[in-house]
Structure 1
Amino acid sequence: MKTGKKWIVSFVIITIVSILGLFWKENPKIDKTNFNDETFLNFADIAWILTSSCLVLIMTPALSFFYGGMVGKKNVISTMLKSFICLGVITILWVVVGFSLSFGSPLGFSINGVHYGIFGNPFDYSFFDQVGALPHKVLGTTIPFALFALFQMKFAIIAPAIITGALAERVRFISFLLFISLFCVFIYAPICHMIWHPNGLFGSYFGVKDFAGGTVVHMSAGFASLAGVLVLGKRKNKEHIPTNIPFVLLGTGLLWFGWFGFNAGSALAANATAVMAFATTTLASATAMITWIFFDRLNGRNVSALGACIGAVVGLVVITPAAGFITIPESIFFGFIGAVVSNKMIYWEKLKSIDDTLDVFACHGIGGITGMILTAIFSHGENSSLLHGGITVFSKHMMALVLISIFTFGGAYLLFKLTNSIISLRVSEDSEDLGLDISQHNERI
């Protein structure tokens, strides 16, 4: 299919979706008894989750600055746009079907008479049907259901944006758009449902703890990045000088700022849990940043602004699944361990050889795994971790870790292959030499 025809097809699809939204009818099968009345609304909670939603939204433009400053001068705009465009693509998908697949009525199987969901009914909340001002009885019980859905949407947006960094400097823009659409529907939404829906397989049966998305967002994006790198292949010229370190510093600061909404907002209320998540997020990131630069120096590398920024972000990734489940001293340990493990992985020759451009798997994939394991050890609460429930609880977490890794990597690998069979993932050699800013977008920094 020629490039012009591809864009025409994409435009027609968007047009059809827009028209469908005008005529979409309410689903009469939705049980309206699932909703509380307005007297259950808590205005402090509403104010905090509105604020948190804004904070999480700013993380995607922040990520584009973080990535854009790291790539070569010929690919800054291309890299930044691929993160930024997720604000448009995933927002539409989330409203049309993504939220319903993530939080609709569970579709799956039963074990000992209990039903466990793998994904949600795609028709329950299509086009945000029944998603309005009333609070849900289970999902965000003190805020409007629409606010819960919009808050969750921001997580769905940043997950595919993270993948951008691994594929930078050689992936075709329209192919990336197709992949992130498939990723949202077939990888992110099922993982989100299985962990965060009250009847989800991993959250309910395996007891997986993920406070704010260490598994749902970072592991899924990390393993998808690894799969994409293997399908896409190496760049012709792997060596590049980061274009703008101040961009990276700006992106890191905005990411850290937005992450308070990411983690503390996941309490879904203005309460003590939100405060503890705020505190543990701060300490883990600070510890990881300092650990990273000292660890670099101990290994004969210079103390660098780039290293400090990467360390801070790794600390944020590692604390995410545990933010509301652990104490402040434990968060310092999380930041320390996360920084050491990810630092070692970034410089591991086997991982370097596959050309993950901005080390997304080492930071987000390995960071998410480390966070999940530490959460399974330290998380507080009855039968929630190794220290507070025993080896059986921990074993279930590790079984879930293996299954999630296989699902996210294997599923993403197949989706990349499918995308490549429809539209070639990789730009031509001439386009890569010229740089994607000019060859894909006819713009320059």
Structure 2
Amino acid sequence: MMFDSGTTAFMIVATSLVMLMTPGLAFFYGGLANKKNIVGIMMQTFVSLGITSILWLCVGYSLCFSGDGAILGNLDKAFLQGVAADSVFSGNAKIPELVFISYQMMFAIITPVLITGAFVNRVTFKAFLIFLVLWQFLVYYPFVHMVWGGGFLASMGVLDFAGGIPVHAIAGFGALGAVFYVGGRREKDEKPHSIPLIAIGAGILWFGWYGFNAGSELNLDQFTALALINTDISASFAAISWLMIEWAREGKPKFVGLLTGALAGLVIITPAAAYVSMPTAALYGIVGGTACYFAIQFKNKMEWDDALDVWGLHGVGGVLGMIMLGIFSSSAVNPAATDGLFFGGELMFFITEVGAVVGASVYAFIFTYGMLRIIEFVTPVKVSEEFELKGLDEMIHGELAYDYDLSID
């Protein structure tokens, strides 16, 4: 079988970019965490590269992308049986199936660890490892199959280009469920320990997001280019929207706010990257930067201790991205899209988009909360007061991010 070398090379690069997002997330979260918990938050992120890859190759890919079940696939391709080097990806004969398997594996790696920012310095590593495995089986795999694997939501006509539901909404609301279970930190006034590290992480995430969104076309065509430019447009408008709002409200232009706003724009455009026009992508960015900023203010007022604002960015951004897709999706922009309400589309499409993302968010919240309660019967989920105050880097991992005595800082 002769594959298209250009398309295959592009998808390999896109896969590599998405893989890089996981270390980028570790840097971003690590910079936001305090000095006592940097190794812990990075460890929780990096360990998914190993564990999730193993799960994906053994059963994850098969459960997501084989069979015609409504909720989950089957085990026909467990351990990649029947997949050879020359196997063709059924969705695009230009690339090998192994490339598609690898690309989707990177999504599986980063999605559950988005949640880690919510409960930084409050969860034992052993409990987290159990959570990492269970959450994929009970939350991630079902929604990937339902949206992208031909399952229930796909049959209902749900559109989601690159992960409004299977990545951001379920991770964001799963994070909120985790926060409700583990409770607040004992030291809530912790400040980011390294803004340069946050900037490095945000830059890597922004860079990797081009592979995340443009690569989701699974081809090399005009819609790949549209997804690429829309990703940057939304991020840019969101970054400046957040910056201006925060500057007006607090009197100073904040660098962390600029970076956080960019991520809000990246999240909100994800489900719509190749389904909306460039002006609409700008609107997405403005809405994302504004709504996610005020969502975090609301979270603070409610005293939900989502330490690194996973719900405010990924949960709110993912939900709004799907809702707006039901309004602004345009078949004139991309024939694969369904017209939203703004372009004369049927109300049922809008209702389907809203119902799907709301249902997924509620499910993720409940199952994440319940999952942590079940894990508690196996091993303690919450760390002790002593561990939290001294920091998980020293107490659990026996490693410090910096070579100095934390007691003098």
1:220 to partner: Cα distance: 1.1
Distance 1:393 1:227 in 2: 28
Say yes or no: does 1:103 pair with 2:54: no
Q: Secondary structure at the match of 1:120?
A: coil
Distance 2:110 2:323 in 1: 23
Report the residue type matching 1:385 in the other structure: G
- Are the counterparts in 2 of residues 140 and 148 from structure 1 also a CA contact under 8 Å? no
- Are the counterparts in 1 of residues 239 and 260 from structure 2 also a CA contact under 8 Å? yes
Q: 1:275 aligns with which of 221, 225, 248?
A: 225
Kindly report the root-mean-square deviation, in angstroms, between the aligned alpha carbons of the 2 structures: 1.4
* Bigger shift: residues 249-258 or 349-358: 349-358
1:138 to partner: Cα distance: 3.3
Q: 2:19 aligns with which of 52, 57, 62?
A: 57
User: Partner of 2:55 in structure 1?
Assistant: 93
User: Partner of 2:105 in structure 1?
Assistant: 153
- Are the counterparts in 2 of residues 209 and 384 from structure 1 also a CA contact under 8 Å? no
Structure 1 residues 71 and 131: CA distance shift in structure 2, 3 A = same
Q: 1:162 aligns with which of 87, 111, 114?
A: 114
Distance 1:280 1:261 in 2: 13
Report the residue type matching 1:200 in the other structure: G
Distance 1:219 1:390 in 2: 24
Structure 1 residues 144 and 70: CA distance shift in structure 2, 3 A = same
Count matched residues: 395
User: Partner of 2:238 in structure 1?
Assistant: 288
- Are the counterparts in 2 of residues 267 and 274 from structure 1 also a CA contact under 8 Å? yes
Q: Secondary structure at the match of 2:161?
A: coil
- Are the counterparts in 1 of residues 90 and 97 from structure 2 also a CA contact under 8 Å? no
User: Partner of 2:190 in structure 1?
Assistant: 240
Q: Deviations over 1:270-294 (max 9, x none)?
A: 1111111000001100110011000
Q: What runs of 5+ residues in structure 1 fail to find an aligned partner?
A: 1-37, 108-116
Distance 2:400 2:300 in 1: 34
Q: TM-score, normalised by structure 2?
A: 0.94
Report the residue type matching 2:201 in the other structure: G
Distance 2:299 2:66 in 1: 43
Distance 1:145 1:59 in 2: 22
Say yes or no: does 1:73 pair with 2:35: yes
Structure 1 residues 78 and 379: CA distance shift in structure 2, 3 A = same
Report the residue type matching 1:390 in the other structure: E
Report the residue type matching 1:202 in the other structure: L
Distance 1:212 1:385 in 2: 18
Q: Deviations over 1:171-193 (max 9, x none)?
A: 11111111011111110000000
1:226 to partner: Cα distance: 0.6
Runs of 4+ in 1 over 6 A off after TM superposition: none
Distance 2:92 2:51 in 1: 25
Distance 1:51 1:383 in 2: 29
Say yes or no: does 1:142 pair with 2:94: yes
Distance 2:92 2:176 in 1: 34
Distance 2:15 2:302 in 1: 35
Distance 2:392 2:65 in 1: 37
1:141 to partner: Cα distance: 3.0
User: Partner of 2:395 in structure 1?
Assistant: 439
* Percent of residue pairs bearing the same amino acid type: 37
Q: What runs of 5+ residues in structure 2 fail to find an aligned partner?
A: 332-336, 402-409
1:52 to partner: Cα distance: 0.3
1:301 to partner: Cα distance: 4.5
Distance 1:349 1:318 in 2: 18
Say yes or no: does 1:42 pair with 2:17: no
1:214 to partner: Cα distance: 1.7
Q: Secondary structure at the match of 1:56?
A: helix
